[in-house]
Amino acid sequence: MTWCRSRLPMRRRFLPRLVLLALVASAGILVDFTTHGEAAPRPARVLAVVQSLLGPTLEPLDARTLRPVSGGWSLPLGWSFSGGTKGPVALSPSGSRVAATTGLSGDGVVVVDVASGRVLWRYNGLGDTLGLYWLGGERLKVPGGAVLMAVTFDCASLGCGDEFTIVGQGDSVDFNDDDPVGALPEGVVMSFASAKVIIVYGQVDEEIGLKQMPLAAPHRLVVDVAHDRLFQISSAGIVAEVDHVATRPTVTYHRVELNGQPFQAVWAGAGKIALWGKDGLGTIDTRTWKTHAIAPGVTDVVATPFGLATWTNDPNDGLTVYRPDGSLRLGMGLEGKRVKAVYRAGEYLYVDANARHSVNLRTGTVTGPLRSNATIVEPEMVPLP
């Protein structure tokens, strides 16, 4: 292993056209168990967009069964439901609030208290909204609470592309080919090729240069939420580690053995980065910078606090959960069902495999088949130790 440390080449920019709009704060979902006197614990809840003939609604559901909950709420979103059209929905970092696009054209944003369903704030006139991101969530110290960034599509004299707008103002800033790829408690992480990353905090964005990263090789950016750090990984065998992102960022470069092929990557917890591609699933140990093979044939991975949920194109494999060290944690009993998609929320996975099933990652219990007209609202950030 070879590595070197460099002081961070960075440039802090102020975005004068972006005006922050504070949102009213409130409290609580994604569901912990609660008790009321001698009553039994309330089942865990999950937030979902439910499709019906009357149009899509945002509402809490029973996390195990995806059925409506007693005393729940329902908020019509007004999207066009023909052709399965849906707009972005984003939970705040703590899960206490949710932001969703509204209206047939998707140009409005509504912010809701997830415990009560009470609408805290509305905004219209954004345009075609493709994504929503919380900038700092409840931790951002501005009057009233947090702010949002919306990704919209716009055509101007220089051509068509994405713009990034601080919700509430309407003005926008074009980050060219940057792409939102992850969230930290302090802001949104954006990637520009492999040469730099940008952290958007609200009125300020911070540009972090990564001069030693190869430009031509496939690369992925991985966010370690719990430890306030990033990893830009190149298949050419070099990793740029950015530590102390929110305070005093520094960059360290590390050499690793990779095959040069395209890949996907995610933070796995326990000091490990999970990678998967042509050679299957493996990990990089960020303490030793050694690689470790886990399983061949893996095509998709979802990282959870209970391990790496994995599946392949083989319908006989079902869903398998590995610990970050590569040991088997759970086999889910979905063999013979081709896994098409997996969603995570709390201690549950929702697996679309011929039919939909819920999987309790703590116990391994599989429940289903369940309703398939509910789209799970996944958290933007999952801190893994």
| The pLDDT of residue 179 | 62
Q: Domain 19-170 is of which CATH architecture?
A: Beta Barrel (2.40)
H-type helices in the chain, by residue range? none
Written as six digits, the tokens of 219 are 């690369």
Amino acid (1-letter code) at residue 369: P
User: Which helix or strand (DSSP H or E) is residue 280 part of?
Assistant: strand 280-285
- The residues near 379 (Cβ < 8 Å, ≥ 6 apart) are 30, 91, 95, 344, 345
What pLDDT score was predicted for residue 159? 64
**φ, ψ at 82 (rounded to 5°):** -75, 135
The pTM of this model reads: 0.83
Q: How far apart are CA 373 and CA 366, in angstroms?
A: 19
The pLDDT tens digits along the chain (385 residues) read 333 333 344 444 433 323 222 222 222 333 333 333 445 566 789 999 998 888 889 999 999 999 999 889 999 998 765 444 467 899 888 888 898 988 776 678 888 999 999 988 888 777 777 888 887 655 544 444 457 778 777 676 566 767 777 775 444 555 555 566 778 877 788 877 778 888 877 656 788 999 999 988 899 999 999 999 999 999 999 999 999 988 889 999 999 999 999 999 999 999 999 999 999 999 999 999 999 999 999 999 999 999 999 999 888 888 899 999 999 998 766 777 888 899 999 999 999 988 999 999 998 899 989 988 899 999 888 889 8
- Given a contact cutoff of 8 angstroms between Cβ atoms, the answer to whether 302 and 265 are in contact is no
pLDDT recorded at residue 32: 38
Take residue 382 and report the two structure tokens written for it. 């999952």
Report the C-alpha gap between 92 and 329 in whole angstroms.
30
| Domain spans, the chain | 19-170
